[in-house]
């Protein structure tokens, strides 16, 4: 089909990534769902999307801590769909790292998934995105400019991702637009790391809108940047209920 568009969503099988896949798919974009461990969820989402539109979704596995995964993932997208229009760097690891207990394993994991992989995926995808006058979205974090205590490595990685967004908006111009979406409190971590009494309520109370966001709030901002905000590049849209501006 002449106007076919293809998006690669990293960490796309669950939670916010899955919402991004569904939102883009419902606007007519075909989807490559990237996953690392969540094969079952990736396959279920693939089936759900293909039921809605035949042959419109597929899955690709890769551990984004491994340097050779970047070229392989992009190669798989091109082999399967023949083109790449949109790259959404959503995959992320997230946990506290306390001073005095920092170690290289956590550094490599957090920096690789949140910063190194987005950069090297952009490099691997550049040629293909350029052909399609494509677009990149990096999912950062609304707390990046007001870092959360005890998360120094994650915070460094997400700040780097904002810098990466602004740098590549220049370096990949004029053919490829590069923007970011910065979520606030959308979904709590599944390992209960933020379940301390009152923590969540306090966070929500600090937002202007006095409520938690939804994965759809994020995916709609991603779709907007990809398909509507065509004169924007190097931008970060905060989707955080106003929480970062306090
Ligand atoms: N949730 C929130 O409220 C919130 C707030 C601020 C920012 N964000 C940002 O929004 C994005 C999505 O958030 P989320 O909470 O939905 O994310 P998440 O569930 O914590 O993680 C998304 C996926 O990232 C993948 N991933 C992690 N490490 C990886 C690695 N080394 N290689 C490949 N894949 C890896 C995992 O895939 P598998 O399951 O397949 O292993 C995971 O399902 C993230 O960038 C996050 O930092 C979220």
Strand partners, 150: none
Residue with tokens 């990534």: 17
| Helix and strand numbers, DSSP H then E, in the chain | 8, 7
Contact 183 CB / ligand 1 (< 6 Å): yes
pLDDT bracket for residue 74 (50, 70, 90):
very high
For the CA of 142, the nearest atom of ligand 1: 6
Whether pTM exceeds 0.95: yes
- Among residues 35, 70, 86, 154, the one annotated as catalytic is 154
Question: Over 80: is that where the pLDDT of 121 sits?
Answer: yes
If we measure between CA atoms, which residue out of 154, 157, 5 comes closest to residue 81? Answer: 5
Residue whose CA is closest, atom 42 of ligand 1? Answer: 11
How many angstroms separate the alpha carbon of residue 92 from the centre of ligand 1? 4
Question: Over 70: is that where the pLDDT of 246 sits?
Answer: no
Contact 38 CB / ligand 1 (< 6 Å): yes
Contact 140 CB / ligand 1 (< 6 Å): no
Per residue in 50-66, pLDDT (tens digit) is 999 999 999 999 999 99
Name the CATH architecture for the domain at 6-238: 3-Layer(aba) Sandwich (3.40)
Domain boundaries, the chain: 6-238
Please provide the size of the chain in residues: 246
Contact 59 CB / ligand 1 (< 6 Å): no
Contact 17 CB / ligand 1 (< 6 Å): yes
For the CA of 154, the nearest atom of ligand 1: 47
Structure tokens given for 70: 């970047």
Contact 241 CB / ligand 1 (< 6 Å): no
| Predicted pLDDT at 194 | 73
Question: Over 70: is that where the pLDDT of 232 sits?
Answer: yes
Task: Tell me, yes or no, if 154 is annotated catalytic.
Answer: yes
What whole-number distance in Å separates Cα of residue 119 and Cα of residue 87? 11
Report residue 7 CA to chain centroid gap: 12
Pocket test residue of 10, 11, 140, 237 for ligand 1, highest count of atoms within 8 A of CB: 11
For the CA of 112, the nearest atom of ligand 1: 31
How many angstroms separate the alpha carbon of residue 20 from the centre of ligand 1? 12
* Average pLDDT of the residues of the chain: 96
């Amino acid at each position: 089909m002449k106007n076919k568009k293809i998006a690669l969503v990293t960490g796309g099988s669950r939670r916010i990534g899955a919402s991004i896949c569904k939102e883009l798919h419902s606007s007519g974009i075909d989807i490559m769902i990237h996953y690392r461990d969540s094969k079952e969820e990736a396959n279920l989402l693939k089936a759900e999307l293909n039921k809605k539109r035949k042959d419109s979704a597929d899955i690709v596995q890769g551990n984004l801590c491994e340097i050779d995964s970047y070229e392989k993932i992009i190669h798989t997208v091109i082999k399967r769909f023949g083109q790449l229009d949109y790259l959404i760097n959503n995959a992320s690891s997230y946990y506290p790292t306390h001073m005095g207990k920092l170690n290289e394993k956590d550094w490599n994991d957090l920096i690789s998934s949140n910063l190194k992989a987005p950069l090297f995926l952009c490099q691997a995808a550049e040629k293909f995105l350029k052909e399609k006058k494509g677009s990149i979205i990096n999912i950062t974090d609304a707390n990046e400019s007001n870092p959360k205590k005890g998360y120094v490595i994650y915070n460094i990685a997400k700040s780097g991702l904002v810098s990466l967004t602004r740098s590549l908006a220049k370096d990949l111009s004029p053919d490829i637009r590069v923007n970011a979406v910065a979520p606030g409190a959308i979904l709590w971590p599944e390992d209960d790391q933020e379940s301390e009494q009152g923590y969540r309520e306090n966070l929500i109370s600090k937002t202007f809108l006095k409520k938690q966001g939804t994965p759809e709030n994020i995916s709609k901002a991603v779709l907007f940047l990809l398909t509507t905000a065509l004169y924007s590049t190097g931008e970060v849209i905060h989707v955080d209920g106003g929480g970062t501006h306090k």
